[in-house]
Amino acid sequence: MKKVGVLVGSLRRESYSKKLANNVVTLFPDGYEIECIKIGNLPFYNQDFDDENNVPTEVVDFRNKLGEFDAFLFITPEYNRSVPAVLKNALDTGSRPKTENRWGGKPAAIISQSPGGIGGFGANHHLRQSLTCLNMSVLQQPEAYIGNVATLLDESGSLTNEGTVEFLQKFVAKFVKLIEK
């Protein structure tokens, strides 16, 4: 059994990213366990936590939790053409102390979304930049920029656009191939 952790870059109750995540988790094959990892409870990372050996419980728990996963899937909106702070904070929190980078060596994939047409391109690539620094193997192709997201989901949050479902199914299949490598 492989375990994939999903990190969503939005805390909003009706978040499109969360709705997309709920659809994407159903596209993984048997033998995969998918879990959404909570990041909204983390304090802003402060290097004093580690330098003074005074690490908050939420941070300890989060870092331990990351150890359970074989791979990570990031699903995020774009905030001001970049990565929402809540997601960047989670990355920074899991990356320290430097000798214990919890992300290191693990496969990752990114899906960005937006109600606009550009599909969160800026967030997607800023995130990619950080994941490279964290020594993750990031799925290169296909790239997933889900634009006009509001038109692709129904009232209950299900993806109604067949083309999008097909695309995400292919995306997940490629991600699974990367994980199996």
**Contact residues for ligand FMN, defined by CB under 6 A:** 10, 12, 15-17, 77-81, 114-116, 118, 120
Judging by DSSP bridges, how do beta strands 137-138 and 144-146 pair with one another? unpaired
Q: Which residues pair with 146 in a beta bridge?
A: 113
Rounded least distance, CB 62 to ligand FMN, Å:
21
Q: Which C-beta is closer to ligand FMN: that of 4 or that of 146? A: 146
3-state secondary structure of 85: helix
**Residue least distant from ligand FMN (Cβ):** 77
Joined together, the tokens standing for residue 122 give 């800026």
Rounded least distance, CB 128 to ligand FMN, Å:
16
Rounded least distance, CB 127 to ligand FMN, Å:
13
Q: Which C-beta is closer to ligand FMN: that of 33 or that of 143? A: 143
Single-letter residue type at 139: L
Q: Which C-beta is closer to ligand FMN: that of 12 or that of 170? A: 12
E strand or H helix that includes residue 66 = helix 57-66
Q: Which C-beta is closer to ligand FMN: that of 15 or that of 93? A: 15
Distances (CA, A) of 23 to 3, 57, 63, 117, 165: 17, 31, 26, 20, 9
Distance between CA atoms of residues 62 and 131, nearest Å: 18
Rounded least distance, CB 176 to ligand FMN, Å:
24
Decide if 89 contacts 9 (C-beta within 8 A).
no
Joined together, the tokens standing for residue 86 give 């809540």
Rounded least distance, CB 24 to ligand FMN, Å:
13
Q: Which C-beta is closer to ligand FMN: that of 40 or that of 115? A: 115
